[in-house]
């Protein structure tokens, strides 16, 4: 069966799902998106992801074409029609089709696309052996230029950092803010373990407050681990007992070498393994249940919002 993509109220075969070349998401990166995971029929933290999507759209002054409740149904139906219980979901809202000028007033209505598919960001050996990372020369966009809380379609800042990681032959790149403090990685949030406690960059440093990041903080604290959101530099990264990254695609993955410095004993640490195990358990149980959706609405696919 061909993968079905939700585009502006309809489910369309993947090879026929298109948006206009005049769409300002394509022309200018004008829009917002979310990446969401589903585990065993549970769409993890769906409402938290949608809250962030709608907040981003509000900041960008994009009028969302459906309510949050309608969007929940659309995401669930996208999984159901594709017979997915475990999947990665990409939700994209752009300004919509306009003219070749950048004036958003020329765009009549937003474009809404929901894609569900399989994803595995890192091979399994990375979870067992850990990642090597570098510090990118590209800095995180300053908050007074563009607020990092907005998950926009323009990801060039992060992509340039990822290119540096690719060129160095490593798995990720740490990004600093303009004051030289560690902010995040190109596609992940970063955590340090030191003396049995966890440190992660504070949100005011310009990073994207990841849903997985916030979930890991919640899981760690439920395990009795102290978590502090603070400021630190690469010096602290190099001298940490453990370092790990979190993200929707990556979940929880250890860093064992940073800028050629070995982290800890050069292997994923016990706290990282424990947090990953407990996070997966949490993710499989917390969120929007497809079984409850089907019980309430049936399996009939909605073709329009």
Burial class of 61 by CB neighbour count within 10 A (0 to 12, 13 to 18, 19+) = exposed
Active-site option among 151, 209, 260, 299: 151
DSSP state of 241: S
Name the token pair of 272.
């990282």
DSSP state of 279: H
Given 3-state DSSP classes, what are the helix, strand and coil percentages for the chain, each rounded to the nearest 5? Answer: 35, 30, 40
Angle at 55 between CA 50 and CA 59, to 5 degrees: 150
Cα separation, 247 vs 238, in Å, equals 21
The answer to whether 188 touches 246, Cβ cutoff 8 Å, is yes
Measured in degrees and rounded to the nearest 5, phi and psi for residue 84 equal -105, 130
Cα separation, 99 vs 269, in Å, equals 53
Burial class of 100 by CB neighbour count within 10 A (0 to 12, 13 to 18, 19+) = exposed
Burial class of 305 by CB neighbour count within 10 A (0 to 12, 13 to 18, 19+) = middle
Cα separation, 35 vs 288, in Å, equals 15
Catalytic site includes residue 151: yes
Q: Would you please indicate which residues are annotated as catalytic (active-site) residues?
A: 151
């Amino acid at each position: 069966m061909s993968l079905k993509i939700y585009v502006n109220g309809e489910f369309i075969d993947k090879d026929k799902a298109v948006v206009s070349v005049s769409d300002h998401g394509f022309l200018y990166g004008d829009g917002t998106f979310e990446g969401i995971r589903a585990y065993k029929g549970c769409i993890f933290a769906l409402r938290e992801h949608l809250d962030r999507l709608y907040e981003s759209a509000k900041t960008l002054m994009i009028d969302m074409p459906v309510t949050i409740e309608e969007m929940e149904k659309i995401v669930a139906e996208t999984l159901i029609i594709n017979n997915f219980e475990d999947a990665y979901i990409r939700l994209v809202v752009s300004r919509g089709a306009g003219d070749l000028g950048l004036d958003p007033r020329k765009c009549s209505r937003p474009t809404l696309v929901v894609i569900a598919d399989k994803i595995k960001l890192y091979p399994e050996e990375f979870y067992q052996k850990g990642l090597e990372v570098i510090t990118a020369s590209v800095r995180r966009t300053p908050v007074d230029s563009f607020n990092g809380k907005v998950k926009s379609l323009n990801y060039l800042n992060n992509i340039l950092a990822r290119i540096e990681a690719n060129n160095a032959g490593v798995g990720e790149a740490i990004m600093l803010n303009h004051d030289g403090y560690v902010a995040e990685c190109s596609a992940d949030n970063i955590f340090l373990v030191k003396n049995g406690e966890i440190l992660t960059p504070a949100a005011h440093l310009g990073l994207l407050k990841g849903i997985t990041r916030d979930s890991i903080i919640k899981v760690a604290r439920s395990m009795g681990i102290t978590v502090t959101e603070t400021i630190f530099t690469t010096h602290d990264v190099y001298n940490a007992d453990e370092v790990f990254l979190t993200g929707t695609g990556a979940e929880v993955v250890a860093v064992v070498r940073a800028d050629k410095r070995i982290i800890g004993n050069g292997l994923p640490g016990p706290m990282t393994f424990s947090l990953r195990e407990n996070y997966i358990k949490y993710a499989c149980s917390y969120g929007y249940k497809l079984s409850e959706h089907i019980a309430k609405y049936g399996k009939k696919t909605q073709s329009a919002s």
